[in-house]
Chain A
């Protein structure tokens, strides 16, 4: 049964191996450049003081804007998000659907191998190869980006936003999360294949449902896996990110400057001592007064910056939780598929 599965999977395996090899070569070739620029900037062995922050932040910005690293920055994350989707599309959906569509399931189920063993071997093999591919790619990208992660940790508050591993776009491309995604994609593909029994519609539905799950999960569910932390800082008029007066009602919007280093900011509000979001309205102190008068008026309001965030220290906890949930979902779908196949009539 194993030989048969391998024989039917050969072409896909060769293509996957070639693709991974090409990506690995690209990453290896540029990874040394990333490291040498890290050393040239003087960052290894840097102590965390003011100059070091600035240099580290510049290192990341400069790296992001010079070719060929820009290409890897942008496409690396995209590629790692696309890989589980493509696996579900091309490996998992046709796995069972093709057998139904062409009628060869009658031949396969009339052999001495039981249906359970047949589906278990096919599905298990594909799932393991998919998870191994995703895991290997994630490992390669982590190796490539480790100097960048170190530089971001050194840069602290001055680092460019959007490059941290906790950032929603990057979180799913690092750590062990891609392994969970690959498992779920395979399970979804096989489920739709069993339910619909036609290859192309099964592929379409697998893609649509997998993308929907990813989008909904990343935007609305992941932040609630662990209750986010809330930090409260006193607002001082000299340390603001933004101060705006807008609209005919002279609504005031104040945004404080504190950011959790490397954390994922879910909301950043300025509240009054009573706990409501501060909206002004602006008085003549700020509309026509000087900077000092406006600052004094703001200080008299005793505002606080309320930041709801997931700290960077929770990265691995969230990764394990997410992968665990996706793996559980994959297992549940697999059991459903196995039951359907065992009970299906041959005619």
Chain B
């Protein structure tokens, strides 16, 4: 059964191997350049905050618009696409193709039981999918280590220009162990779609649609509730005012910046004493061009800054709970599929 699974899986495994090798070559050839820039900028061992801010500015300016930025975004896109493609090209055709071409009758008339047939195939493909995702994440992590180290020096006040945190919604799913969970879940969704729909192309389309919804909706709706975020309310200080939005002369919105390096800031508002976002009339000083007068007037309003965030220390807890949740769903789906094919009539 293992030999048969491998024999049927060979072309897809070859494609996965080529993609991994291609990415490895690309990252290897550019990785030394990034490390070089990092050391040249003066960031390692910078003596004080001002020097570190300056070095960070130099580093991020070298990176922006360079080939390294392109390679980084390409790798991120690949890590996000990989689970979707695994679900569509490995998971969906697994059972659907056999059902469509009729070879299911041959496969299920052998001495191997249906459950064993499916479980060996699922184990081989599922574990390979998780390994591929893990390797992709590892390769990108090794390559971008220096950029993440540099990002730790960034603060909300300085003109650093390098806002790269592991926890940010865009990057969280590309590092750590999260991609492994996604790959397993995507494979299971593809498998389930194939078992239910029994036609390859519709199963692939449904898999892609479901995965797009889940992978986009999860960070926005669910991730921030996995571990309840920290809420702090503090007095609004001058340096934290990031900007003003004045519409007409009736409504003013105050934009604030939080100084929580490495954290994932979920919401960040200027609130009044009752705890609601401030949207009153702008003080006279702000309608003229005087920035200092405006700042004083806003501070005189006695507003508070309410931040809701996940601190950087929770990175591994969040990664673990997210991967655990996805793996749980994957195992549940695979189990449900096994039960379903046991009861399906052959004719």
Q: Which residues of A contact B (CB under 8 A)?
A: 11, 15, 37, 40-42, 55, 58, 61-62, 71, 75, 86, 90, 94, 199-201, 203-204, 207, 215, 219, 242, 244, 246-247, 253, 255
CB neighbours (8 Å) of A42 from chain B are 247-248
Which residue of chain B has its CB nearest to the CB of A265? Answer: B65
Known contacts A42-B247, A90-B205; A244/B58 CB under 8 A: yes
Least Cβ–Cβ distance between B204 and chain A, in angstroms? 8
Known contacts A55-B246, A199-B200; A246/B15 CB under 8 A: no
Assess the B245–A246 pair: CB atoms within 8 A: no
Give CA–CA (A118, B70) in the complex, Å. Answer: 43
Give CA–CA (A43, B167) in the complex, Å. Answer: 37
Assess the A242–B57 pair: CB atoms within 8 A: yes
Give CA–CA (A90, B205) in the complex, Å. Answer: 8
Task: Indicate whether B89 reaches chain A with its CB closer than 8 angstroms.
Answer: yes
Can you report 23 residue pairs joining A to B where beta carbons are below 8 Å apart? Answer: A11-B202, A40-B247, A42-B247, A55-B246, A58-B243, A58-B244, A62-B245, A62-B255, A86-B208, A90-B201, A90-B205, A199-B201, A200-B200, A201-B11, A203-B89, A204-B89, A215-B74, A219-B70, A242-B61, A244-B54, A244-B57, A244-B58, A247-B41
Residue of B74, B85, B244, B247 ringed by the most chain A CB atoms within 10 A: B247
Give CA–CA (A242, B57) in the complex, Å. Answer: 9
Least Cβ–Cβ distance between B146 and chain A, in angstroms? 16
Give CA–CA (A246, B89) in the complex, Å. Answer: 49
Give CA–CA (A242, B216) in the complex, Å. Answer: 36
Please classify how large the interface on chain B is, using the bins under 10, 10 to 19, 20 to 34, 35 or more: 20 to 34
CB neighbours (8 Å) of B61 from chain A are 242, 244, 253, 255
Residue of B42, B93, B200, B201 ringed by the most chain A CB atoms within 10 A: B201
Which residue of chain A has its CB nearest to the CB of B92? Answer: A200
Least Cβ–Cβ distance between B75 and chain A, in angstroms? 12
Task: Indicate whether B115 reaches chain A with its CB closer than 8 angstroms.
Answer: no
> Which positions 161-216 of chain B face chain A at CB distance < 8 Å?
200-202, 204-205, 208, 216
Least Cβ–Cβ distance between B15 and chain A, in angstroms? 7
Residue of A61, A62, A246 ringed by the most chain B CB atoms within 10 A: A246
Give CA–CA (A165, B287) in the complex, Å. Answer: 32
Assess the A200–B89 pair: CB atoms within 8 A: yes
Give CA–CA (A86, B247) in the complex, Å. Answer: 41
CB neighbours (8 Å) of A253 from chain B are 58, 61
Question: Using an 8 Å CB-CB cutoff, how does the interface string of B40-67 with A read, 1 for contact, 0 for none?
Answer: 1110000000000011011001000000
Give CA–CA (A11, B243) in the complex, Å. Answer: 51
Which residue of chain B has its CB nearest to the CB of A62? Answer: B245
Question: Using an 8 Å CB-CB cutoff, how does the interface string of B81-106 with A read, 1 for contact, 0 for none?
Answer: 00001000100010001000000000
Which residue of chain B has its CB nearest to the CB of A65? Answer: B255
